[in-house]
Structure 1
Protein backbone atom coordinates (compact mmCIF):
# COMPACT_ATOMS: atom_id res chain seq x y z
CA UNK A 1 0.00 0.00 0.00
CA UNK A 2 1.35 3.42 -0.94
CA UNK A 3 1.99 5.76 1.97
CA UNK A 4 -0.57 8.29 0.68
CA UNK A 5 -3.20 5.55 0.54
CA UNK A 6 -2.26 4.41 4.04
CA UNK A 7 -2.65 7.94 5.45
CA UNK A 8 -6.10 8.15 3.87
CA UNK A 9 -7.05 4.75 5.30
CA UNK A 10 -5.99 5.82 8.79
CA UNK A 11 -8.36 8.78 8.55
CA UNK A 12 -11.13 6.44 7.35
CA UNK A 13 -10.55 4.12 10.32
CA UNK A 14 -10.72 7.03 12.75
CA UNK A 15 -13.89 8.37 11.12
CA UNK A 16 -15.82 5.17 11.87
CA UNK A 17 -16.16 5.83 15.59
CA UNK A 18 -15.93 8.51 18.27
CA UNK A 19 -14.11 6.14 20.63
CA UNK A 20 -10.29 6.08 20.85
CA UNK A 21 -8.64 3.57 18.52
CA UNK A 22 -5.25 2.19 19.47
CA UNK A 23 -2.23 2.01 17.19
CA UNK A 24 -2.38 -1.80 17.61
CA UNK A 25 -5.88 -1.88 16.09
CA UNK A 26 -4.88 0.37 13.19
CA UNK A 27 -1.69 -1.59 12.56
CA UNK A 28 -3.57 -4.90 12.48
CA UNK A 29 -6.12 -3.63 9.96
CA UNK A 30 -3.48 -2.07 7.69
CA UNK A 31 -1.01 -4.95 8.18
CA UNK A 32 1.83 -2.65 9.18
CA UNK A 33 3.86 -2.15 12.36
CA UNK A 34 2.85 0.09 15.25
CA UNK A 35 5.95 2.19 14.58
CA UNK A 36 4.65 2.86 11.08
CA UNK A 37 1.28 3.91 12.51
CA UNK A 38 2.97 6.26 14.99
CA UNK A 39 4.93 7.89 12.16
CA UNK A 40 1.82 8.20 9.98
CA UNK A 41 -0.24 9.72 12.82
CA UNK A 42 2.55 12.24 13.45
CA UNK A 43 2.55 13.11 9.74
CA UNK A 44 -1.22 13.64 9.72
CA UNK A 45 -1.04 15.82 12.83
CA UNK A 46 1.72 17.81 11.16
CA UNK A 47 -0.63 18.37 8.23
CA UNK A 48 -3.20 19.78 10.68
CA UNK A 49 -5.55 16.83 10.59
CA UNK A 50 -7.36 17.21 13.97
CA UNK A 51 -6.34 13.94 15.61
CA UNK A 52 -6.27 13.77 19.41
CA UNK A 53 -4.58 11.17 21.56
CA UNK A 54 -1.21 9.60 22.10
CA UNK A 55 0.66 6.33 21.84
CA UNK A 56 -0.66 3.69 24.21
CA UNK A 57 -4.03 5.38 24.79
CA UNK A 58 -5.61 5.63 21.37
CA UNK A 59 -6.53 8.25 18.81
CA UNK A 60 -9.71 10.14 17.98
CA UNK A 61 -10.53 12.27 14.94
CA UNK A 62 -12.28 15.49 15.96
CA UNK A 63 -15.72 16.11 14.49
CA UNK A 64 -16.10 18.45 11.55
CA UNK A 65 -13.07 17.19 9.66
CA UNK A 66 -13.72 15.92 6.17
CA UNK A 67 -11.80 14.79 3.13
CA UNK A 68 -12.54 15.84 -0.44
CA UNK A 69 -15.72 14.09 -1.62
CA UNK A 70 -15.77 10.75 -3.42
CA UNK A 71 -12.16 9.74 -2.80
CA UNK A 72 -13.40 6.17 -3.04
CA UNK A 73 -11.62 2.91 -3.67
CA UNK A 74 -12.89 0.33 -6.14
CA UNK A 75 -14.18 -1.84 -3.26
CA UNK A 76 -15.97 1.11 -1.65
CA UNK A 77 -17.68 1.96 -4.94
CA UNK A 78 -18.71 -1.66 -5.42
CA UNK A 79 -20.12 -1.75 -1.88
CA UNK A 80 -22.11 1.44 -2.52
CA UNK A 81 -23.47 0.10 -5.82
CA UNK A 82 -24.46 -3.22 -4.24
CA UNK A 83 -26.27 -1.42 -1.42
CA UNK A 84 -28.02 0.88 -3.90
CA UNK A 85 -29.12 -2.12 -5.99
CA UNK A 86 -30.66 -3.67 -2.87
CA UNK A 87 -32.56 -0.47 -2.09
CA UNK A 88 -33.79 -0.19 -5.68
CA UNK A 89 -35.16 -3.74 -5.49
CA UNK A 90 -36.62 -3.61 -1.96
CA UNK A 91 -36.90 -0.01 -0.75
CA UNK A 92 -39.97 2.17 -0.83
CA UNK A 93 -40.42 4.24 -4.02
CA UNK A 94 -38.75 7.36 -2.60
CA UNK A 95 -35.69 5.44 -1.42
CA UNK A 96 -35.50 3.46 -4.66
CA UNK A 97 -35.52 6.70 -6.65
CA UNK A 98 -32.80 8.14 -4.39
CA UNK A 99 -30.69 4.99 -4.86
CA UNK A 100 -30.86 5.34 -8.66
CA UNK A 101 -29.80 8.98 -8.35
CA UNK A 102 -26.95 7.94 -6.05
CA UNK A 103 -25.55 5.50 -8.61
CA UNK A 104 -25.80 8.16 -11.33
CA UNK A 105 -24.02 10.76 -9.18
CA UNK A 106 -21.20 8.40 -8.28
CA UNK A 107 -20.78 7.37 -11.92
CA UNK A 108 -20.62 11.02 -13.00
CA UNK A 109 -18.02 11.95 -10.38
CA UNK A 110 -15.50 9.12 -10.04
CA UNK A 111 -12.39 8.93 -12.25
CA UNK A 112 -12.95 7.31 -15.63
CA UNK A 113 -11.00 4.16 -14.81
CA UNK A 114 -13.43 3.41 -11.96
CA UNK A 115 -16.62 4.00 -13.92
CA UNK A 116 -16.89 0.38 -15.18
CA UNK A 117 -17.18 -0.75 -11.54
CA UNK A 118 -20.52 1.12 -11.50
CA UNK A 119 -21.78 0.69 -15.03
CA UNK A 120 -20.64 -2.95 -15.42
CA UNK A 121 -20.81 -4.24 -11.83
CA UNK A 122 -19.37 -7.63 -10.90
CA UNK A 123 -21.88 -7.94 -8.06
CA UNK A 124 -25.65 -7.97 -8.30
CA UNK A 125 -28.70 -8.16 -6.04
CA UNK A 126 -31.33 -10.71 -7.14
CA UNK A 127 -34.87 -9.46 -7.86
CA UNK A 128 -37.26 -9.19 -4.93
CA UNK A 129 -39.79 -11.96 -5.46
CA UNK A 130 -43.25 -12.16 -3.86
CA UNK A 131 -42.91 -8.95 -1.88
CA UNK A 132 -45.91 -8.29 0.34
CA UNK A 133 -48.12 -5.47 -0.92
CA UNK A 134 -48.57 -2.38 1.23
CA UNK A 135 -50.50 0.83 0.79
CA UNK A 136 -48.92 3.11 3.40
CA UNK A 137 -46.58 6.03 2.75
CA UNK A 138 -43.16 4.79 3.90
CA UNK A 139 -41.46 8.11 3.11
CA UNK A 140 -43.88 9.88 5.47
CA UNK A 141 -43.26 7.22 8.12
CA UNK A 142 -39.53 7.81 7.85
CA UNK A 143 -40.17 11.54 8.25
CA UNK A 144 -42.19 10.84 11.42
CA UNK A 145 -39.29 8.79 12.79
CA UNK A 146 -36.82 11.61 12.15
CA UNK A 147 -39.21 14.10 13.78
CA UNK A 148 -39.97 11.80 16.74
CA UNK A 149 -43.74 11.99 16.18
CA UNK A 150 -46.35 9.42 17.14
CA UNK A 151 -48.43 7.38 14.72
CA UNK A 152 -51.96 6.07 15.08
CA UNK A 153 -52.33 2.74 13.29
CA UNK A 154 -54.96 0.10 12.68
CA UNK A 155 -53.23 -3.26 12.67
CA UNK A 156 -54.32 -6.76 11.63
CA UNK A 157 -52.56 -9.68 13.29
CA UNK A 158 -51.88 -13.02 11.61
CA UNK A 159 -55.41 -14.18 12.47
CA UNK A 160 -56.84 -11.03 10.85
CA UNK A 161 -57.96 -9.51 14.18
CA UNK A 162 -57.68 -5.73 14.07
CA UNK A 163 -56.61 -3.40 16.86
CA UNK A 164 -55.97 0.31 17.19
CA UNK A 165 -52.56 1.42 18.44
CA UNK A 166 -50.68 4.61 19.18
CA UNK A 167 -47.01 3.91 18.58
CA UNK A 168 -43.66 5.67 18.81
CA UNK A 169 -41.86 4.67 15.58
CA UNK A 170 -38.07 4.62 15.57
CA UNK A 171 -36.92 2.09 12.97
CA UNK A 172 -37.96 0.51 9.68
CA UNK A 173 -36.51 -2.97 9.21
CA UNK A 174 -36.32 -4.97 6.00
CA UNK A 175 -36.91 -8.68 5.58
CA UNK A 176 -36.74 -10.55 2.29
CA UNK A 177 -40.41 -10.05 1.38
CA UNK A 178 -41.75 -7.69 4.06
CA UNK A 179 -40.92 -4.46 5.85
CA UNK A 180 -41.23 -4.10 9.61
CA UNK A 181 -42.06 -0.96 11.59
CA UNK A 182 -40.31 -1.15 14.96
CA UNK A 183 -41.95 1.02 17.62
CA UNK A 184 -42.89 1.44 21.25
CA UNK A 185 -46.57 0.49 21.56
CA UNK A 186 -48.61 2.46 24.10
CA UNK A 187 -51.29 -0.25 24.16
CA UNK A 188 -48.84 -2.99 25.16
CA UNK A 189 -46.38 -0.80 27.05
CA UNK A 190 -43.52 -2.53 25.26
CA UNK A 191 -41.58 -2.73 22.02
CA UNK A 192 -43.42 -4.22 19.08
CA UNK A 193 -42.66 -4.98 15.43
CA UNK A 194 -45.47 -4.41 12.93
CA UNK A 195 -45.50 -5.81 9.41
CA UNK A 196 -46.23 -2.80 7.20
CA UNK A 197 -48.46 -4.84 4.87
CA UNK A 198 -50.77 -5.51 7.86
CA UNK A 199 -51.22 -1.82 8.71
CA UNK A 200 -54.79 -1.11 7.62
CA UNK A 201 -55.05 2.56 8.63
CA UNK A 202 -52.41 5.13 9.37
CA UNK A 203 -52.66 8.54 11.05
CA UNK A 204 -49.72 10.91 11.35
CA UNK A 205 -49.99 12.63 14.72
CA UNK A 206 -48.52 16.00 15.67
CA UNK A 207 -47.64 14.84 19.18
CA UNK A 208 -43.98 14.10 19.82
CA UNK A 209 -43.04 11.17 21.98
CA UNK A 210 -40.93 11.86 25.07
CA UNK A 211 -37.74 10.02 24.06
CA UNK A 212 -35.44 10.67 21.12
CA UNK A 213 -35.58 8.06 18.32
CA UNK A 214 -31.90 7.24 18.90
CA UNK A 215 -32.61 6.50 22.57
CA UNK A 216 -35.42 4.11 21.65
CA UNK A 217 -33.21 2.37 19.10
CA UNK A 218 -30.47 1.92 21.71
CA UNK A 219 -32.98 0.51 24.22
CA UNK A 220 -34.44 -1.84 21.61
CA UNK A 221 -31.01 -3.11 20.51
CA UNK A 222 -30.14 -3.79 24.17
CA UNK A 223 -33.50 -5.54 24.65
CA UNK A 224 -32.96 -7.74 21.60
CA UNK A 225 -29.41 -8.56 22.66
CA UNK A 226 -30.61 -9.63 26.12
CA UNK A 227 -33.36 -11.69 24.51
CA UNK A 228 -30.90 -13.51 22.24
CA UNK A 229 -28.61 -14.24 25.18
CA UNK A 230 -31.54 -15.65 27.15
CA UNK A 231 -32.52 -17.87 24.23
CA UNK A 232 -28.92 -19.08 23.91
CA UNK A 233 -28.86 -19.99 27.60
CA UNK A 234 -32.07 -22.00 27.37
CA UNK A 235 -31.28 -23.69 24.05
Structure 2
Protein backbone atom coordinates (compact mmCIF):
# COMPACT_ATOMS: atom_id res chain seq x y z
CA UNK A 1 0.00 0.00 0.00
CA UNK A 2 1.40 3.47 -0.88
CA UNK A 3 2.50 5.44 2.18
CA UNK A 4 0.09 8.31 1.47
CA UNK A 5 -2.86 5.90 1.31
CA UNK A 6 -1.70 4.28 4.55
CA UNK A 7 -1.62 7.66 6.31
CA UNK A 8 -5.12 8.53 5.10
CA UNK A 9 -6.32 5.13 6.32
CA UNK A 10 -4.74 5.73 9.72
CA UNK A 11 -6.43 9.14 9.98
CA UNK A 12 -9.79 7.55 9.25
CA UNK A 13 -9.14 4.86 11.85
CA UNK A 14 -8.36 7.57 14.42
CA UNK A 15 -11.68 9.22 13.57
CA UNK A 16 -13.69 5.99 13.72
CA UNK A 17 -12.29 4.03 16.67
CA UNK A 18 -13.31 4.86 20.25
CA UNK A 19 -10.72 7.15 21.84
CA UNK A 20 -8.10 6.57 22.99
CA UNK A 21 -7.33 4.06 20.23
CA UNK A 22 -4.45 1.71 21.09
CA UNK A 23 -1.68 0.98 18.63
CA UNK A 24 -2.90 -2.62 18.49
CA UNK A 25 -6.45 -1.54 17.58
CA UNK A 26 -5.10 0.85 14.95
CA UNK A 27 -2.83 -1.86 13.55
CA UNK A 28 -5.74 -4.31 13.26
CA UNK A 29 -7.90 -1.65 11.62
CA UNK A 30 -5.29 -0.66 9.04
CA UNK A 31 -3.53 -3.99 8.49
CA UNK A 32 -0.02 -2.89 9.47
CA UNK A 33 2.29 -3.53 12.42
CA UNK A 34 2.22 -1.60 15.69
CA UNK A 35 5.74 -0.35 14.94
CA UNK A 36 4.43 1.15 11.68
CA UNK A 37 1.57 2.79 13.58
CA UNK A 38 4.02 4.56 15.90
CA UNK A 39 6.06 5.81 12.93
CA UNK A 40 2.96 6.98 11.07
CA UNK A 41 1.60 8.77 14.15
CA UNK A 42 4.84 10.75 14.30
CA UNK A 43 4.54 11.53 10.59
CA UNK A 44 0.96 12.77 10.97
CA UNK A 45 1.98 14.96 13.89
CA UNK A 46 4.74 16.41 11.74
CA UNK A 47 2.16 17.21 9.07
CA UNK A 48 0.06 19.19 11.55
CA UNK A 49 -2.43 16.72 12.96
CA UNK A 50 -2.93 17.20 16.72
CA UNK A 51 -2.89 13.68 18.16
CA UNK A 52 -2.89 13.22 21.91
CA UNK A 53 -1.55 10.09 23.63
CA UNK A 54 1.45 7.80 23.64
CA UNK A 55 2.50 4.16 23.43
CA UNK A 56 0.84 2.00 26.07
CA UNK A 57 -2.03 4.43 26.56
CA UNK A 58 -3.63 5.06 23.16
CA UNK A 59 -4.14 7.92 20.76
CA UNK A 60 -6.89 10.52 20.32
CA UNK A 61 -7.28 12.76 17.29
CA UNK A 62 -7.79 16.24 18.70
CA UNK A 63 -7.52 18.33 15.54
CA UNK A 64 -7.67 16.99 11.99
CA UNK A 65 -5.23 18.95 9.84
CA UNK A 66 -6.53 17.36 6.64
CA UNK A 67 -9.96 18.96 7.08
CA UNK A 68 -10.68 22.69 7.36
CA UNK A 69 -12.82 23.84 10.30
CA UNK A 70 -16.56 24.13 9.79
CA UNK A 71 -19.16 26.18 11.55
CA UNK A 72 -22.85 25.44 12.03
CA UNK A 73 -25.66 27.14 13.90
CA UNK A 74 -27.05 25.00 16.78
CA UNK A 75 -30.14 23.90 14.84
CA UNK A 76 -27.95 22.70 11.95
CA UNK A 77 -25.93 20.56 14.34
CA UNK A 78 -29.09 19.02 15.79
CA UNK A 79 -30.38 18.35 12.27
CA UNK A 80 -27.11 16.63 11.31
CA UNK A 81 -27.24 14.42 14.39
CA UNK A 82 -30.87 13.43 13.80
CA UNK A 83 -30.34 12.74 10.11
CA UNK A 84 -27.11 10.78 10.39
CA UNK A 85 -28.28 8.84 13.44
CA UNK A 86 -31.43 7.88 11.53
CA UNK A 87 -29.29 6.57 8.66
CA UNK A 88 -27.22 4.44 11.05
CA UNK A 89 -30.44 2.73 12.15
CA UNK A 90 -32.39 2.34 8.92
CA UNK A 91 -29.66 2.35 6.28
CA UNK A 92 -28.17 -0.75 4.69
CA UNK A 93 -24.81 -1.80 6.23
CA UNK A 94 -22.69 0.31 3.85
CA UNK A 95 -24.79 3.45 4.40
CA UNK A 96 -24.96 2.93 8.16
CA UNK A 97 -21.17 2.68 8.31
CA UNK A 98 -20.82 5.79 6.13
CA UNK A 99 -23.17 7.78 8.38
CA UNK A 100 -21.19 6.80 11.46
CA UNK A 101 -17.97 7.79 9.71
CA UNK A 102 -19.48 11.13 8.67
CA UNK A 103 -20.35 11.91 12.30
CA UNK A 104 -16.77 11.26 13.41
CA UNK A 105 -15.44 13.47 10.61
CA UNK A 106 -17.78 16.27 11.64
CA UNK A 107 -16.55 16.07 15.22
CA UNK A 108 -12.98 16.44 13.96
CA UNK A 109 -13.80 19.51 11.86
CA UNK A 110 -15.97 21.44 14.30
CA UNK A 111 -14.69 23.93 16.87
CA UNK A 112 -14.50 22.35 20.32
CA UNK A 113 -17.72 23.92 21.63
CA UNK A 114 -19.72 22.79 18.62
CA UNK A 115 -18.09 19.35 18.65
CA UNK A 116 -19.31 19.02 22.25
CA UNK A 117 -22.81 20.02 21.14
CA UNK A 118 -22.66 17.44 18.35
CA UNK A 119 -21.62 14.70 20.79
CA UNK A 120 -24.31 15.58 23.33
CA UNK A 121 -27.10 16.78 21.03
CA UNK A 122 -30.52 17.31 22.58
CA UNK A 123 -32.23 15.77 19.57
CA UNK A 124 -31.47 12.28 18.31
CA UNK A 125 -33.19 9.43 16.50
CA UNK A 126 -34.11 5.98 17.79
CA UNK A 127 -36.01 3.17 16.08
CA UNK A 128 -37.08 0.15 18.11
CA UNK A 129 -38.17 -1.78 15.04
CA UNK A 130 -35.53 -2.46 12.42
CA UNK A 131 -36.49 -2.50 8.72
CA UNK A 132 -36.86 -5.92 7.05
CA UNK A 133 -33.55 -7.62 6.29
CA UNK A 134 -32.08 -6.98 2.85
CA UNK A 135 -30.05 -9.80 1.30
CA UNK A 136 -28.97 -8.06 -1.91
CA UNK A 137 -25.99 -5.71 -2.19
CA UNK A 138 -27.70 -2.33 -1.81
CA UNK A 139 -24.45 -0.51 -2.60
CA UNK A 140 -24.27 -2.24 -5.98
CA UNK A 141 -27.92 -1.37 -6.59
CA UNK A 142 -27.24 2.30 -5.86
CA UNK A 143 -24.27 2.19 -8.22
CA UNK A 144 -26.44 0.73 -10.99
CA UNK A 145 -28.86 3.64 -10.52
CA UNK A 146 -26.01 6.17 -10.67
CA UNK A 147 -24.66 4.55 -13.82
CA UNK A 148 -28.18 4.31 -15.29
CA UNK A 149 -27.87 0.60 -16.06
CA UNK A 150 -30.85 -1.72 -16.48
CA UNK A 151 -30.94 -4.57 -13.95
CA UNK A 152 -32.55 -8.02 -13.94
CA UNK A 153 -34.13 -8.78 -10.54
CA UNK A 154 -35.37 -12.03 -9.00
CA UNK A 155 -38.42 -10.64 -7.20
CA UNK A 156 -41.14 -12.11 -4.96
CA UNK A 157 -44.57 -10.48 -4.66
CA UNK A 158 -46.66 -10.30 -1.48
CA UNK A 159 -47.91 -13.86 -2.08
CA UNK A 160 -44.41 -15.24 -2.60
CA UNK A 161 -44.75 -15.64 -6.37
CA UNK A 162 -41.38 -15.15 -8.02
CA UNK A 163 -40.71 -13.39 -11.30
CA UNK A 164 -37.64 -12.02 -13.03
CA UNK A 165 -38.11 -8.33 -13.71
CA UNK A 166 -36.00 -6.04 -15.87
CA UNK A 167 -35.92 -2.64 -14.20
CA UNK A 168 -34.43 0.77 -14.80
CA UNK A 169 -33.47 1.72 -11.20
CA UNK A 170 -34.17 5.36 -10.39
CA UNK A 171 -33.72 5.81 -6.63
CA UNK A 172 -33.96 4.00 -3.30
CA UNK A 173 -36.29 5.44 -0.69
CA UNK A 174 -37.47 4.48 2.81
CA UNK A 175 -41.21 4.04 2.40
CA UNK A 176 -43.75 2.69 4.91
CA UNK A 177 -41.05 1.17 7.13
CA UNK A 178 -39.04 -0.57 4.43
CA UNK A 179 -36.45 0.21 1.78
CA UNK A 180 -37.95 0.47 -1.69
CA UNK A 181 -36.64 0.89 -5.19
CA UNK A 182 -38.45 3.31 -7.47
CA UNK A 183 -37.99 1.94 -10.96
CA UNK A 184 -39.37 1.61 -14.47
CA UNK A 185 -40.54 -1.98 -14.94
CA UNK A 186 -40.07 -3.35 -18.45
CA UNK A 187 -42.59 -6.14 -17.77
CA UNK A 188 -45.38 -3.73 -16.79
CA UNK A 189 -44.11 -0.97 -19.09
CA UNK A 190 -44.67 1.54 -16.32
CA UNK A 191 -43.22 2.88 -13.09
CA UNK A 192 -43.40 0.65 -10.02
CA UNK A 193 -42.22 0.51 -6.40
CA UNK A 194 -40.27 -2.61 -5.36
CA UNK A 195 -39.34 -3.68 -1.83
CA UNK A 196 -35.64 -4.46 -1.46
CA UNK A 197 -36.32 -7.19 1.11
CA UNK A 198 -38.29 -9.11 -1.54
CA UNK A 199 -35.33 -9.16 -3.92
CA UNK A 200 -33.38 -12.42 -3.81
CA UNK A 201 -30.72 -11.38 -6.30
CA UNK A 202 -30.08 -9.05 -9.21
CA UNK A 203 -27.61 -8.65 -12.04
CA UNK A 204 -26.53 -5.49 -13.82
CA UNK A 205 -26.98 -5.73 -17.58
CA UNK A 206 -24.90 -4.02 -20.26
CA UNK A 207 -27.90 -1.90 -21.32
CA UNK A 208 -27.92 1.77 -20.38
CA UNK A 209 -30.89 4.12 -20.06
CA UNK A 210 -28.65 7.19 -19.75
CA UNK A 211 -29.40 10.11 -19.71
CA UNK A 212 -33.06 9.57 -18.79
CA UNK A 213 -32.84 8.77 -15.06
CA UNK A 214 -33.43 12.32 -13.78
CA UNK A 215 -36.46 13.14 -15.99
CA UNK A 216 -37.90 9.66 -15.33
CA UNK A 217 -37.47 10.11 -11.58
CA UNK A 218 -39.02 13.56 -11.73
CA UNK A 219 -42.04 12.16 -13.57
CA UNK A 220 -42.45 9.24 -11.16
CA UNK A 221 -42.20 11.49 -8.10
CA UNK A 222 -44.85 13.78 -9.54
CA UNK A 223 -47.16 10.78 -9.92
CA UNK A 224 -46.52 9.66 -6.34
CA UNK A 225 -47.26 13.13 -4.98
CA UNK A 226 -50.49 13.31 -6.98
CA UNK A 227 -51.59 9.82 -5.96
CA UNK A 228 -49.56 8.08 -3.22
CA UNK A 229 -49.31 4.30 -3.73
CA UNK A 230 -51.84 2.27 -1.75
CA UNK A 231 -49.48 -0.69 -1.69
CA UNK A 232 -45.97 -1.68 -2.62
CA UNK A 233 -45.46 -3.48 -5.93
CA UNK A 234 -46.76 -7.07 -5.77
| Superposed pair shares fold, TM > 0.5 | yes
Instruction: Give the equivalent residue in structure 1 for 2:134.
Output: 134
Question: Aligned equivalents of 1:89 and 1:133: distance in 2?
Answer: 12
3-state SS in 2 of match to 1:103: helix
Q: CA deviation at 1:129?
A: 1.1
Cα pair 1:128 1:176 within 8 Å, conserved: no
After superposition, give the CA deviation of every residue in 1:150-189 in whole Å (9 maximum; x if it has no partner): 1100111111111111000011011353110110000001
Quickly say closer, same or farther: Cα 1:88–1:163, change in 2 above 3 A. Answer: same
Cα pair 1:107 1:118 within 8 Å, conserved: yes
After superposition, give the CA deviation of every residue in 1:20-43 in whole Å (9 maximum; x if it has no partner): xxxxxxxxxxxxxxxxxxxxxxxx
**Superposition pairs for residues 8-27 of structure 1, below 5 Å?**
none
Instruction: Give the equivalent residue in structure 2 for 1:206.
Output: 206
Q: CA deviation at 1:206?
A: 2.1
Cα pair 1:171 1:182 within 8 Å, conserved: yes
Instruction: Kindly indicate whether residue 82 of structure 2 is the aligned counterpart of residue 89 of structure 1.
Output: no
Q: CA deviation at 1:87?
A: 0.4
After superposition, give the CA deviation of every residue in 1:69-104 in whole Å (9 maximum; x if it has no partner): 623211111111110000000101111111111111
Question: Aligned equivalents of 1:150 and 1:210: distance in 2?
Answer: 10
Quickly say closer, same or farther: Cα 1:69–1:224, change in 2 above 3 A. Answer: farther
5+ residue gaps, structure 2: 1-67
TM-score by length of 1: 0.65
Query: Considering only aligned residues, what root-mean-square deviation do their CA atoms show, in Å?
Result: 1.8
Quickly say closer, same or farther: Cα 1:219–1:69, change in 2 above 3 A. Answer: farther
Instruction: Give the equivalent residue in structure 1 for 2:34.
Output: none
Instruction: Kindly indicate whether residue 105 of structure 2 is the aligned counterpart of residue 105 of structure 1.
Output: yes
Quickly say closer, same or farther: Cα 1:211–1:226, change in 2 above 3 A. Answer: farther
Question: Aligned equivalents of 1:123 and 1:219: distance in 2?
Answer: 35
3-state SS in 2 of match to 1:202: strand
**Superposition pairs for residues 51-200 of structure 1, below 5 Å?**
70-175=70-175, 177-200=177-200
Name segments (4+ residues, structure 1) moved above 3 Å: none
Cα pair 2:89 2:130 within 8 Å, conserved: no
Instruction: Give the equivalent residue in structure 1 for 2:57.
Output: none
Q: CA deviation at 1:211?
A: 4.3
Cα pair 2:88 2:97 within 8 Å, conserved: yes
Deviates more, 1:127-136 or 1:199-208: 127-136
